[in-house]
Structure 1
Amino acid sequence: MFTSIQRFIKKWRASRDSGHQLDALLAIADKTAPYPDRSEWLIELAHWIRRGGAVQPAASSTTSDSASDSRSIPAHTRIRYLLHVLDRNPTWKANVAGILRALLRESDSLSLLCDAGMPVHSGFFGALFERFEASLIPPAPNRRDLTAIVRLMFNSERDAQWIDALPTDLLTRIRALFDDEQDENEPHETTPFSLDLLAALHNLTCQISSTGLSQTVRSRLGEVDVRDAGDVRVAMEKQPFYRLTRAMLAVEAAHQAVVEGASQDRLLHEVNYLRLLLDECRSATDNVFAHLYRNGVSVDIVFQVERMRMRIVRAELLLNAWMAQDDPHAGARLTAELVNANHASQSVAHLVRSNFSLLARKVVEYSADTGEHYIARDRAEYLKMLRMAAGGGLVTVVTVCVKFAITGAHLQSIFEGLLAGINYTASFLLMHFLHFSLATKQPAMTAPTLARELDGTGTPAGVDSFVSSVTALIRTQAAAVLGNVLLVFPVCLGVQLLWHMLFHANLISPEKAHATLQSFALLGPTPLYAALTGVLLWSSSLLAGWTDNWFVLHRVADALAYNRRLRMTLGVAGAARLAQFCRSNVAGVAGNITLGLMLGLVPAIITAFAFAFEVRHVTLSAGSIGVALGVLGKDTLKLPELWWAVAGVGSMAILNVAVSFALAFYMAVKSRDLRRKTVRSLRGAIWQRVFQRPLELVWPVRARALHPDRVQ
């Protein structure tokens, strides 16, 4: 019968009557058929259950209760109808039950219970290639692997949802179908599925213990306190990973005693102790991540720790299912989780999302410390930011003048871009070491700082702290832009007038001045260029975070501090000061160099190979308008092109800041895996604060005004 199953499936799929389809499918069920045929039959049955549409009962199997509830999930309706048909046909029921039991008996379930959804490759491209290969070459149904069968039966992420939502009566009837009377010719099941759960749990605990005791993880669990332990070995025995395997062996011994007739009290005690150790292992992984964020993030280490955390969650899930074997919903939850994990392990989209979240957290953590310096939370810090911004505007005056000199030389575009990049880089580095501020550089570094406060938004106090930080950030950005523009514009205008008075010449020609104003016009590509410039600003923060992470991970500061030649040349204290100087400035120097070179070279490269693109930076553009106004004279105030250029500079101020901040903040949100509902509630809280206290956006409010109940 099964030798012609392909011809049957083709004919069966052509039928549009769901009831007749099911009858035809059940009629060929044969529990004595070869394994591949039984697997293929199960796959077709699963596809029939997942198929939408109403069920039309066949005349031979119509019952009084076969009409399904229209309010139920379609898959549930079809399972209910299937069970009704099987109850009416004992022969069909015996074959279906035999096929289900044989599936568990003859298939390797450990691969599904232990490995489904667990990452295999630490590298992104290796995992990506593996998933593309799996999508092109699906597993064959003759593999005695439960993971392959589950993947072929449930290939949609929605399957886990309807499996988890199965009602109690259906779960009870499905379990009864597995326990249906066996034929005397059918081989008896020697390994119940509960023992498969126990074996999978043993496998997972060994893997968790092995990873936790490896040198890469053990060295990041914290310092061993040998004073209290008296012995390093004794201290190690206190680690939960060390005790986990022995606890699992104790659970298995207690279970065997229960099978032999002993009381379950010992088993419950050992299971509770195992749960406690799994909880301690989960806390230990959090400590590892905290160590990584302080001392550098390694992709391989993060991969191992993240997989260990997933195994701990899976072990807890298996333990719950094993202990609640009488609860049908526990088995449904386990099945839904395994189906979801199996689908996630084959999904390219899930791989991209998870890797982006990991990258986001890595970059965010190393940008946060730098960004904290750019948020003015009180009046003293606000005035300090104004002074820093004014200093940045003063340096930008020189940058604008040198920029006009470079463009006036009419060099080849790439060479001109390189010189412009060097000009920007020198200016940004000078601002960095003089502790000045450039407004549009701040958002990409300050948004990650807010991401740290996202961890506390589960409480009202945490939400209030987050909203206060956002308003402080907006206020600080306004102060920085204002400080830059109010200094760079008049000083550039004064430099042009002074140059003309001393040398009877202009920094740029009148034609160049008109072209400059026209290029900044709001009605044109200026908003697009300003948004793209914001992307470059954000990209520089990524490179700064990566450089800082590399510096800390490889402990370059320690290598410098203990370098023999440096100590002989500078002395011990001098080498330590050099190491601290490099540690404090490596992110800023890397970010400024990359930003300067990108602002100079990227427009030249994009213009050469794609489309016309020019940098539109609010501070640089405001200085350029000052020079152009000085060249054209006061009559320019009557020209519309001046005011369109001023409007364009206003759009630059908004888009430079908004785009770089939005990208960085999006990365911060992804690093915390916040739900959309949480993000919407935070957005609502921000708007509520803006409407209630709008003055906070322009001037810091005293602490007493915000919290009158607090004592100063």
Structure 2
Amino acid sequence: MDEVLQQLLTHGSDEIQPLQQLISCLRPARPDDGEQATQNVRALAFLLQQNVAYQQGLRAYLERVILSRKLVHLLTDTGIPANEGFWSALWRRFNARWLPPACNDRYLKDVLLQVFDLKRDAPWLMAVAPDTWLALLHAMGWRRRDAVLRRYWLQEALEAAQVLSYRMTAIGLEPELVRNYPAIERFESPFLRQNTELMAEVAACQQALGEGRVPRLDARHMRVLLAQCAVIVSRIRKSAAQQGVSVSLTRLLLRLEASMARLELLLDLLSSRWDLALRRQAVSLFQQLMRASRHQYSLREVFHSNTELLALQVTERAGQVGEHYVTTDRAGWFSMLRSAMGAGGIVGFMALLKVLAGKLVLAPFGYAFLYSLNYSLGFMLVHVLHFTIATKQPAMTASKLAASIDAAVSRGKAQLEELAELCVQVARSQFSAIMGNVLVAMPTALVIALFWQWASGQHLANPDKVAHLLHDLHPWQSLALPHAAIAGVCLFLSGLISGYYDNKASYNQIPERLQQLGWLRRLLGPQRLQRVARYVGDNLGALAGNFFFGLMLGSIGTLGFIFGLPIDIRHITFSSANFVFALVGSDFQLPWQVWSVSLLGVALIGMVNLVVSFSLALLVALHARRVSFGQGRSLLAALGRRFIRQPGPFFFPPRDTAAEKGAA
């Protein structure tokens, strides 16, 4: 460190190499070693205090580096999303990983990128306490009398405030924001007024600078206008819950909120005195910029931030659907059972069609097409008839549970008993749906197989097919459980797809646009078209989710065959029907060991289907809500106590649910 400070005594240029060497001396061996970084900064401050020449040399050098470069881009660009689309931002950051962007040495923003390796430096820069940085500034001898530096800061900060204000005005007039908050057109927009107010204040400050006086910006009215802008942004976010949201709207809101936050910070700095409080705010701004610079080329950050609002909206839509999958009383439990039984009958015929399609001699694409068509149309028929597929529940009920956890956390208390009661309701609703699916799918498959044998004189499943079906059910001699996990992922994805298309139907106003189609109105008539449009608006997500779920189930096995990958799917309802086909195909001559292992495989396949889809949906729902539930163990313990004391309600609702809650 002494050698670097010695060089600065004779270094008269504004090149950044000495600064890079000085930062290398401050940088700890480990990026997260904040204690070592603090000691290094304090050591530099001590050297400057003991040697006035070092102090003057370093201060003069830093002034040359700063005054010869533009600060405005650091204040207006770092930490604020660029004016580009989501895919453009993703592609730009991807390219920057293997081909870094060119640096403009005239911008302080780019100088920081050359001086700091932000992946390594951001942690320790933020770990050093602000008071330690202030002590270093004091040791450098920067005081109120530094008129040149102060004037430079005021000019750059005023220019940055103007840039941010203009951006806010432009974003506030975007058609996408106006569409979600039409009142902004009926009244004078605060996004316009804040720019007018700021320009007047900036003009007064610049006039004072020209006269040699030290200006202080009056930001009181600006803060009121910015608060009004924040209220509009909040209302737009709330209206998105009914009208839907898009990635482009999310990016506009992110850019607007980031610009507002940065402008508020600059207003605080410009309206403060040149004193300790101002230097403390400047240090806070520096650390904030370093934190933002750390993520400026992060693919994960741009993907998460731009899809955050959409992910919340998708999981919210799924959660609303999930309310219909949770039963609270016996009437609802039996209604769920009947609905699942209807789906079990349809699945029995879907399993038949899949076996028959497998008998055809087709190219791999042909098998994938027929399997996907069978699954997709079958699942869509299940939805149209208001039946229930058991494995579709977890992706929906997980969002409902996440909403309850979010409500409990936001109230500041655990509400464990309420959450435990909801978990019990989810468990018995799921049990009802599984029983309805399996108990009807298996007899339906049995009747189909026996009828096929009577009508054709041959078994639906020949000996080779029987062996294949039984092998696919074996829990440890085949990949049944990993394949069941793949099916669970598909179930989870179908839940997200359902929420996405429900959001899309609202945001793109699909029902209203359907009613504007002249040829469709002439074909169906106004009243029938209105009913069709309303049905599409209410059910587009569910139909799309079932359609794409069928595509995934029907094509994954074929894709695995084409690419030589051991991937396929196993679904509990189809597996139970396939077991019956194998049983009839063997003339009921299966050994009891095969029976036992096959039925165990069916049960484990169902468990893996449910656990994987539920876990993924719950994690995404909690993440979208930014909820961290730290009492998961307490919730599991409460559920364990309930199950030991009273296991019945986990499978069948008691006669009086209110009495059950009181006993708990």
Where do residues 217-616 of structure 1 align in structure 2 (5 Å cutoff)? 217-223=177-183, 235-237=186-188, 239-249=189-199, 252=202, 271-323=219-271, 325-327=275-277, 328-355=279-306, 357=308, 360-456=311-407, 457-460=409-412, 463-464=415-416, 468-500=421-453, 504-523=457-476, 524-616=478-570
State the secondary structure of the residue aligned to 2:356: helix
**Partner residue, 2:89:** 127
**Partner residue, 1:114:** 76
Q: Structure 2: how far apart are the matches of 1:44 and 1:250?
A: 44
Q: Structure 2: how far apart are the matches of 1:644 and 1:168?
A: 65
CA displacement 1:384-430 (0-9 Å, x = unmatched): 21111111111111112222222233544432332222222232122
Letter in 1 for 2:23: A
Q: 1:206–1:245: 8 Å Cα contact kept in structure 2?
A: yes
Question: Alignment partner for residue 42 of structure 1, among 16, 19, 35?
Answer: 19
Q: 1:117–1:343: 8 Å Cα contact kept in structure 2?
A: no
**Partner residue, 2:629:** 679
Give the stretch that moved more between structures: 412-421 or 455-464.
Answer: 455-464
Q: Provide structure 1 residue ranges, at least 5 long, that are not aligned to the other structure.
A: 1-21, 54-70, 225-231
State the secondary structure of the residue aligned to 1:641: helix
Letter in 1 for 2:490: L
CA displacement 1:544-601 (0-9 Å, x = unmatched): 3343343333322112223333334433322211211221222222222222222222
Q: 2:405–2:629: 8 Å Cα contact kept in structure 1?
A: no
State the secondary structure of the residue aligned to 1:107: coil
State the secondary structure of the residue aligned to 1:562: coil
Letter in 2 for 1:282: A
- Taking a change above 3 Å as real, the CA distance of residues 313 and 383 of structure 1, as seen in their structure-2 partners, is farther
Give the stretch that moved more between structures: 131-140 or 338-347.
Answer: 131-140
**Partner residue, 2:604:** 651
- Taking a change above 3 Å as real, the CA distance of residues 189 and 48 of structure 1, as seen in their structure-2 partners, is same
Give the stretch that moved more between structures: 271-280 or 639-648.
Answer: 271-280
Q: 1:163–1:335: 8 Å Cα contact kept in structure 2?
A: no
CA displacement 1:411-462 (0-9 Å, x = unmatched): 4443233222222223212211110011112223333344444542322568
**Partner residue, 2:165:** 205
**Partner residue, 2:156:** 196
Question: Alignment partner for residue 137 of structure 2, among 161, 175, 182?
Answer: 175
Q: Structure 1: how far apart are the matches of 2:638 and 2:329?
A: 17
**Partner residue, 1:88:** 50
Q: 2:247–2:306: 8 Å Cα contact kept in structure 1?
A: no
Q: Structure 1: how far apart are the matches of 2:143 and 2:281?
A: 24
Identity %: 27
CA displacement 1:112-170 (0-9 Å, x = unmatched): 11110222254444223433444555577771211112222332356445444544653
Q: Structure 2: how far apart are the matches of 1:496 and 1:631?
A: 8
Q: Structure 1: how far apart are the matches of 2:421 and 2:271?
A: 47
Q: Structure 2: how far apart are the matches of 1:31 and 1:568?
A: 87
CA displacement 1:348-393 (0-9 Å, x = unmatched): 3433443464553353244333333222244332222111111111
Q: 1:518–1:641: 8 Å Cα contact kept in structure 2?
A: no
1:649 Cα offset (Å)? 0.8
Q: Structure 2: how far apart are the matches of 1:305 and 1:417?
A: 42
State the secondary structure of the residue aligned to 2:387: coil
- Taking a change above 3 Å as real, the CA distance of residues 393 and 31 of structure 1, as seen in their structure-2 partners, is farther
State the secondary structure of the residue aligned to 1:663: helix
- Taking a change above 3 Å as real, the CA distance of residues 485 and 30 of structure 1, as seen in their structure-2 partners, is same
Q: Provide structure 2 residue ranges, at least 5 long, that are not aligned to the other structure.
A: none
Q: 2:583–2:589: 8 Å Cα contact kept in structure 1?
A: no
Question: Alignment partner for residue 7 of structure 2, among 25, 28, 35?
Answer: 28
State the secondary structure of the residue aligned to 1:605: helix
Letter in 2 for 1:617: H
- Taking a change above 3 Å as real, the CA distance of residues 181 and 488 of structure 1, as seen in their structure-2 partners, is closer
Q: Structure 2: how far apart are the matches of 1:139 and 1:178?
A: 33
1:621 Cα offset (Å)? 0.7
Q: 1:424–1:597: 8 Å Cα contact kept in structure 2?
A: yes
CA displacement 1:632-689 (0-9 Å, x = unmatched): 34542x4322211111111111111122222222322332233xxx2333x2343133
**Partner residue, 1:628:** 582
Give the stretch that moved more between structures: 22-31 or 524-533.
Answer: 22-31
Letter in 2 for 1:688: A
Number of aligned positions between the proteins: 650
Where do residues 661-676 of structure 1 align in structure 2 (5 Å cutoff)? 661-674=614-627
Q: 2:49–2:139: 8 Å Cα contact kept in structure 1?
A: no
Q: 1:364–1:451: 8 Å Cα contact kept in structure 2?
A: no
Q: 1:109–1:196: 8 Å Cα contact kept in structure 2?
A: yes
Q: Structure 2: how far apart are the matches of 1:503 and 1:129?
A: 59
1:284 Cα offset (Å)? 1.8
Q: Structure 2: how far apart are the matches of 1:476 and 1:154?
A: 56
Q: Structure 1: how far apart are the matches of 2:260 and 2:371?
A: 53
Letter in 1 for 2:25: W
- Taking a change above 3 Å as real, the CA distance of residues 394 and 258 of structure 1, as seen in their structure-2 partners, is same
Letter in 2 for 1:40: Q
1:614 Cα offset (Å)? 3.4
What is the root-mean-square deviation of aligned Cα atoms in Å?
3.5
**Partner residue, 2:60:** 98
Give me the TM-score of the superposition, normalised by structure 1: 0.82
CA displacement 1:214-267 (0-9 Å, x = unmatched): 32212312446xxxxxxx6xx422x43233224434655787899999999x97
CA displacement 1:14-68 (0-9 Å, x = unmatched): xxxxxxxx11111111586232x2x221122112211338xxxxxxxxxxxxxxx
Give me the TM-score of the superposition, normalised by structure 2: 0.88
Q: Structure 2: how far apart are the matches of 1:480 and 1:609?
A: 36
State the secondary structure of the residue aligned to 1:345: coil
Q: Structure 2: how far apart are the matches of 1:168 and 1:451?
A: 38
Q: 2:351–2:574: 8 Å Cα contact kept in structure 1?
A: yes
